[in-house]
Amino acid sequence: GPVGSRKSSLVKMMAGLLEPSSGEILLNGRPVREADRQSLAAALGYVPQEALLFSGTIRDNVAFGAPGEGKSIEDEAFRAAVAEAQLSGEIASFSDGEATLLGQRGVALSGGQRQRLAIARALARRPSLLLFDDITASLDAANEERLWRALDSRSRDLSCVVVSHRLSTLQYADKVLFLDRGRVAAFGRHEELLLHLRATRTTGASEADIRDVLLHVAVYAGVPAANSALAAAKRIFAETEAAPAPA
């Protein structure tokens, strides 16, 4: 959805960081507010829009997400997390490797590297649910594609909720939830959203609303299917333009 449609608020409520003003958030059929905080934290991997790192080594920052109180991480778990986050090559290029110090006296990472390090931290706990709040905005297309492929290989035991302004990200999703001013405007696969577009068009929605939905629908099926999705949407526009106005 567009800026201000409360996408981030929804993800924070899923993570238990915000209380809904009405209704409730259910996790496996149970209200999140009733969940044991320690168990919830172990099951969730949350990456906000702004990557939060602390002064310390790269390994320390990744280990902060690992389960347990000691905040240490086994070598195999560390390598798996940074590999899935597409950070292995860059860490190897640093003279001190995983012992590279970050912060004011250490190495300054790029925005994309910081975000991928935050992703590695979330993956280190091997969560069953990942919450990504517009994290792909700092990633280039190649790293994003490799990230989703790595996560897809774990899809049997991992669910992922992603907020994104990058339309190409939608091609990796099973379902799209389209928000508008804090309300659900559409939900489903791209074919289902095309039907929603038809209904929206015939009920007199604004051109801006329809264009937002159209853009999301067009890319949701992936780049190869974008042209056919656009063609279908154009047919809907043509049909509804020719149809008589609703009484």
Confidence of residue 166 (pLDDT cuts 50, 70, 90): low
135 touches 50 (CB < 8 A): no
Percent of the chain scoring above 70 in pLDDT: 70
The answer on pLDDT for 238 being more than 50 is yes
Percent of the chain scoring above 90 in pLDDT: 9
pTM of the model: 0.73
Highest mean pLDDT among 25-34, 208-217, 236-245 belongs to 25-34
Confidence of residue 92 (pLDDT cuts 50, 70, 90): very high
Which H or E element spans position 159? strand 159-163
C-alpha–C-alpha distance, residues 82 and 123, integer Å:
8
